[in-house]
Amino acid sequence: MNDAFEAIGIALAVAMVLGIPFGFFAFMRYLRFKETIALAERGLLRPARAKRNRDTLRWGIVITTMGTGLMCGLYPLGFSIDPGMASQAPLGFGPWMLFGILPFFFGLSLLIIYYVNKREDLRYDAEEPDPIPPHKVNGE
């Protein structure tokens, strides 16, 4: 009986950890949808969303730094393992380093995407904004 309560507790914890962020983002999408519908009923267009290239740079820096920190923190594990396994982990690198290497390269790829798309964003900035609906031009 005790095992059943533990399993239910774990399932509830996982549901909360995954459900709260998902519910938050779903609610935000719903609010954005309602705002778009309200604008459409008034005959207005939703303003064009700016390119989020700056966010790509921010997240790239944050995730790369986090990966670097994890790699620095996990590196000493290679020297504290069994001597038999240490011979299989050259220079102290081992599978535990993946927890730092993966976010490091993911963040690095975001930084590369930022610099590749930088020129494309300049082209979008030169384009005209969203057109005014025809019925609003006449002042109706």
**What is the pLDDT of the chain when averaged over all its residues?**
79
Query: pLDDT confidence of 127, banded at 50, 70, 90?
Result: low
Q: What is the mean pLDDT of the segment spanning 116-134?
A: 64
Positive or negative CA dihedral for 128, 129, 134, 138? Answer: negative
Q: Is the full-model pTM beyond 0.75?
A: no
The model's pLDDT over 69-103, given as tens digits with 9 standing for 90+, comes to 988 888 777 666 666 665 666 666 677 788 888 99
Q: Work out the percent of the chain whose per-residue pLDDT is above 90.
A: 26
**Which residue would you say has higher pLDDT here, 136 or 120?**
120
Give the whole-angstrom CA distance, residue 1 versus residue 14: 20
DSSP three-state, residue 121: helix
Which are the contacts of 123, defined by CB distance < 8 A and separation ≥ 6? none
Spatial contact of 75 and 92, defined as CB atoms under 8 Å apart? yes
Helices (H) and strands (E) in the chain, counts: 5, 0
